[in-house]
Structure 1
């Protein structure tokens, strides 16, 4: 007695497309363009550091537009963490440009949308919120007349992570629904082909029965009653086979079901 091992079927995964989120792509490009336009005319706290952080945030933001299908999980986490940290650090330094603050919020939104691990996404969002709040506090202490944001406002940086998670779940649900529809169409096509095959087989059997009955009628007219009886039995066997299928013994041997019947 042999036992068959259960076969596992691979579940297709959703592939990221370019761009995965058109709204996020527009926000990223607009944030970079407006920041570059306002950078030289706006008061910036610790400008060299802020400039380096903006360049780093911009690079990560542009990278988030493209699909990350070929990247392993740890590289995704590293890019998002770097994006979130740089965006959170530059937020209080360049608050006067008002749009530069979007880098931190975009980063946490990307964490929810790009990372498969919800725990990692939320952890990065919480970390970015704490970094933004701590950096805002530090800027207020070091430059009290810089008109910086209140430190507690940095705690809101992590909120977009939930929007990113919801959007990723929505895309996954749409993909799963499309896969189910495609699978249903494939199953319907298989059933239709099987039905057509069965119809063709039945039509052939009916044709064989008619041929045998016509042969039997011709033999009876010629007085060959025995041969006619054999033809009638053949027609009966073909009709029965079209309903129940061939008997196992006949399938194994391929022998004629009527002994003594002419070929």
Structure 2
């Protein structure tokens, strides 16, 4: 659009400004007409790296040429160059320089028109003075609008980068959580299964079939237990999982402890991340109870107050010989602490020294709402 306006100004001036010739006054008009046209065309070039002083000089030369053309030409629309160059000065130059050029153009054009028509027409030079400098305001407004558009584009681009970075961070966080779930479910269980299978292989050479069968049965039991844990891990990862209370009830009952869950307070709907974290902590605590205290009593308590508290207690093993069976590396407890820390809560775990479950173990997770 701006290029079309520039072309129209140049064409109209070339067709109307007179006299144009190869000698005398006509040559001066032609030279000034070419100079004004060139300065007007320069504004369409890519001048991002142009120094402000060079831009000021270029526009100053153009405005002086436009004012001289206004005095030399006897007819035509030579004044158009002054108007458009002043407008571009408001768009291209800093505010102070743009206003100085507008004042310069107004004074030059007014003086030249005054000298041409004489002192008897004082009103016309005043009108020229006022109107020649006004286009600078349009240029300044255009520059402000362009700056606002560029700022909005930069802001949108920055917001897009921030959104992409946040999405990537969420993906990495989710990957870490899934990796932690897979590790908690499979890593130490498979290590224990492998250990018992290797033990069974070693016992085959001794001919003690009873011990071979015992190691084999233990490995089989651990595989079954690992499959059950994997099912609960997948259940916790699904978006359509049951609410926390129903999920805990099903989990406790599937571990062989009916009516072992107690819920205190009004349990509100919790964020999915907290629900999944509490389910995984309960699963790990129940698994540890079955492994380290086989046959012992288990009690799970969920307290809903200012914070959500999950407490899993187990009594001592019924069979003293089974205590500590299938001891792990402690990674399960580390994983539980990591989960609670990510949720902004606290976790305590340790032996029970008094009460009906004395000699057992308790895990307590407190998650703020």
- Normalised to the residue count of structure 2, the TM-score between the two structures is 0.52
Matched-pair contact (CA < 8 Å) for 2:82–2:105? yes
Between structures 1 and 2, the one with greater helix share: 1
Q: Is 2:238 the counterpart of 1:238? A: no
Task: State the partner residue of 2:277.
Answer: none
Equivalent of 1:112 in 90, 109, 117: 90
Matched-pair contact (CA < 8 Å) for 1:94–1:101? no
CA RMSD of aligned residues (A): 3.1
Matched-pair contact (CA < 8 Å) for 1:125–1:159? yes
Q: Is 2:153 the counterpart of 1:162? A: no
Equivalent of 2:183 in 208, 230, 234: 208
- Provide the C-alpha distance between the structure 2 equivalents of 1:92 and 1:188, rounded to a whole number of angstroms: 60
Matched-pair contact (CA < 8 Å) for 1:46–1:93? yes
Task: State the partner residue of 1:121.
Answer: 98
Cα distance change, pair 224–203 in 1 and its aligned pair in 2 (3 A): farther
Task: Give the superposition deviation at 1:77.
Answer: 0.2
Cα distance change, pair 153–48 in 1 and its aligned pair in 2 (3 A): farther
The count of residues paired between Structure 1 and Structure 2 equals 215
For residues 24-63 of structure 1, give each alpha carbon's deviation from its aligned partner in whole angstroms, at most 9, with x where no partner exists.
Answer: x222211211222234578xx9444333322211110111
- Normalised to the residue count of structure 1, the TM-score between the two structures is 0.72
Matched-pair contact (CA < 8 Å) for 1:125–1:158? yes
Q: How does 1:130-209 map to 2 (within 5 A)?
A: 130-141=107-118, 150-155=124-129, 156-209=131-184
Compare relative contact order (CA 8 Å, sep 6+) and give the higher one, 1 or 2: 1
Q: After the TM superposition, which of the residue ranges 170-179 and 80-89 deviates more from structure 2? A: 80-89
Q: Which runs of 5+ in 2 are unaligned?
A: 197-214, 219-320, 343-369
Task: Give the superposition deviation at 1:213.
Answer: 6.4
- Provide the C-alpha distance between the structure 2 equivalents of 1:226 and 1:68, rounded to a whole number of angstroms: 79
- Provide the C-alpha distance between the structure 2 equivalents of 1:89 and 1:227, rounded to a whole number of angstroms: 104
Between structures 1 and 2, the one with greater strand share: 2
- Provide the C-alpha distance between the structure 2 equivalents of 1:175 and 1:113, rounded to a whole number of angstroms: 14
Equivalent of 1:87 in 36, 51, 66: 66
Matched-pair contact (CA < 8 Å) for 1:206–1:239? no
